Every structure is written in structure tokens, then in C-alpha cells.
Amino acid sequence: MSDLRTYRQEIDAIDEQLSCLLNRRMNISRSVALFKEKHGCAVLDCSREKEIIQKARDRSARDELKTYQEAFFKHLMKLSRDYQQRLVETK
């Protein structure tokens, strides 16, 4: 059972790092939204998202993780888009 506890502690530490990174990413996403609004750009940039997804798949540690990596980044970008859209609509 101590091995499981160790694994969970490692996951907790990674989750903490992910939370910090998400906060940083969303802060930058806010700046992107303001830039896009100022310059009349759409929130959704399909070519940019395809590029990000391909890079994420390429960074996968193992082939079996590529679909999970893709799903993770698709969800992350949706969160970012939703946040940007909300910021643009509330102005």
C-alpha cells in the first residue's frame, strides 16, 4: 500500500503543477482574447488548433498515449476558447 501512497503523492505534486500552469495559460488566454477583440480577430483559429494538436501528438511519450494527449489538448483549448468568448461577450 505504501507504493500506492507514493504514486498518489507524485500525482498530487503533478496536479499542483498543472494547476499553476493552467492559471498561467488562462491569464495569457485573457490577453489573447483582448488582443483578438481589439484587432477584430475571431476567437477560434482552426489552423492554430490543428497545429497545437499535432505538436501534442508528436510529444507523446508513447504511441498509446497519442489519443489521450490529443483529447487533453482539445479540452484545454475548448476551455480557453470558452473563456475568451466569455471575455469578449461581456465587454
**Residue 1: its pLDDT value, please?**
63
The C-alpha cell at 33 is 482574447
**Residue 70: its pLDDT value, please?**
96
**Residue 42: its pLDDT value, please?**
96
Express each pLDDT in 42-63 by its tens digit.
Answer: 999 999 999 999 999 999 999 9
How many domains does the chain fold into?
Answer: 1
Domain residues for 82?
2-89
CA distances from 60 to 33, 42, 54, 64, 73 (A): 28, 29, 10, 8, 12
Residue 28 belongs to domain with CATH number: 1.20.59.10
pLDDT band per the 50, 70, 90 thresholds, residue 9: very high
The mean pLDDT value of the chain amounts to 95
